[in-house]
Structure 1
Amino acid sequence: MNRTIQFGSWQGVLGNGLAERELVCILAVAAGHTDKEIARRDGLSPRSIKGRIESAMFKLGVYKRPALVAEAMRRGLISPMILALCAILVGQSAISDHSLNRIRKPGERRVETRVSIRRTEVALTA
């Protein structure tokens, strides 16, 4: 059972070996928040936030915050919301691509045939 968590403009997926609080801390770090800001928001001490971030670093095998965010993105644990929005929009445009359903005008078929014949002739003479 995978659950999605959102923090600012970032989203993360639970069910991957990380605790919910650790994932929230990674999302907050990715959003650029400090330990104090995260602690103030969650009503905890900055030390406990630092412990959760260190625990997530240990589980992912990294030792610096930028590497933590990069590794979480590489493993697909977190992603910026803009990527999800782009994926949705691209999927919608692929489903409803009006250019595929375009009806040709009467003269277009002849022009396409002439162009393809010309390309074939050029290829044969070269």
Structure 2
Amino acid sequence: MESTIVSGQWKGHLGRGLAPRELQCLLAVAQGMTAKEIARLMQITPGTVANRIENAMYKLGVHRRAALVAEAMKRQIISPMCFVLAGLIAMHSMVADGDPVRRDRRAPERRIAQVRVLRKAEAYELHS
């Protein structure tokens, strides 16, 4: 039977190519934690955390942290536990009243004020 490690909203599967401590570091990286935060959580030094992350990147053949998380998801080493929440959000956006592509923006007053200043400057040039 395959065992798992749960950290925050992520689940990691042991026995798929990464050591348990590498998997713990990977799960923390997937949550957006820095090496110092991971070190505090695991009670090890930030250098050890960096080594474990580098080992995981080497094993998965990637060079960046984001690529590490993506490759681990692709190989089903880790998986987010929020698929249900994502599905609900997607369904809500499809069913919600109003414009589905609506974006909240700042009031256009700022742009109008800039145009007025430019036009005043042009008017001064015309009168000179």
Do the two structures share a fold, i.e. TM-score over 0.5? yes
Q: Which residue of 2 aligns with 1:39?
A: 39
Structure 1 window deviating more from structure 2 (77-86 vs 41-50): it is 77-86
Distance, in Å, in 1 between the alignment partners of 2:56 and 2:67 is: 11
Structure 1: gaps (5+ residues): 88-126
Q: CA deviation at 1:86?
A: 8.0
Question: Take 1:17 and 1:6, find their aligned partners in 2: how far apart are those partners?
Answer: 17
Residue 52 (structure 2) aligns with? 52
In structure 2, C-alpha distance between the alignment counterparts of 1:83 and 1:72, rounded to whole Å = 16
Structure 2 counterpart SS, 1:17: coil
| Structure 2 unaligned residues grouped into runs of 5+ | 88-128
Mapped pair 1:24 → 2:24 = yes
What letter corresponds to residue 71 of structure 2 in structure 1? E
More helix by share: 1
When residues 47 and 4 of structure 1 are mapped into structure 2, their CA distance, relative to the original with a 3 A threshold, is same
Structure 1 residue ranges, 4+ long, deviating more than 2 angstroms after superposition: 83-87
Shift of 1:79: 0.7
Shift of 1:83: 2.5
Partner of 1:63: 63
Equivalent AA in structure 2 for residue 39 of structure 1? A
Amino acid at match of 1:70: A
Residue-by-residue CA offset, 1:73-106 (whole Å, 9 max, x unaligned) = 000010111127889xxxxxxxxxxxxxxxxxxx
TM-score (norm 2): 0.64
| Aligned-pair identity (%) | 57
1:81 aligns with 2:81: yes
Cα distance change, pair 5–22 in 1 and its aligned pair in 2 (3 A): same
Distance in structure 2 (CA, Å) of the matches to 1:68 and 1:21 = 15
Cα distance in 2 for partners of 1:39, 1:7 equals 15
1:6 is matched with: 6
After TM superposition, the score normalised by the length of structure 1 is: 0.65
